[in-house]
Amino acid sequence: MPRRGELLELSREHHGALLLARDAMRLPLEAPRDELAAMNRRIAGYWKETMAAHFRQEENLLLRHPGVLPAPLAMQLLDEHRLLASMSVRASGGGLEAAAVHDYGRCLAAHVRFEERECFDALQEAAEAASG
């Protein structure tokens, strides 16, 4: 389903998230400390510049359209937001080692796929119905 309105921008932001996820998964497990530190900074920066607001927008959509997503999907979305937020905050202190950076990348890519494939169509339909 084509994205429009608020979901169009959220979908566009997913592209940046997928690029970050790809790069996180490509970080060598034996990466030099400076590369690891740079990736931690990139993850933390993405959280501050984009992801925190992105998550708030998605969660506000859920609040504005209660019951649109089945409860297990809504809970999964919120649980994944909490996990990714926690990892992003750890990255801001340089706290993600290479294996954790890989985990972050896998979690982020899977989360984007989950939202696009399982959540956004239902939210798009609800938003369009509410706007008339």
pTM of the model: 0.92
**Count of alpha carbons within 13 angstroms of residue 131, beta-carbon side:** 9
Nearest to 64 by CA among 114, 20, 129: 129
So what's the pLDDT on residue 130? Answer: 76
What band does 132 get if pLDDT is binned at 50, 70 and 90? low
Tokens encoding 60: 């506000």
List, for residues 70-110, the tens digit of each pLDDT value: 999 999 999 999 999 999 999 999 999 999 999 999 999 99
- Please measure the distance between the N-terminal and C-terminal CA atoms of the chain and give it in whole angstroms: 18
CA dist 70 and 83 (Å) reads 20
Tokens encoding 121: 């169509």
CA dist 54 and 81 (Å) reads 10
Tokens encoding 12: 């566009």
Strands (E), 41-104: none
Nearest to 47 by CA among 90, 103, 100, 102: 90
What are the backbone angles phi and psi of residue 29, rounded to the nearest 5°?
A: -60, -25
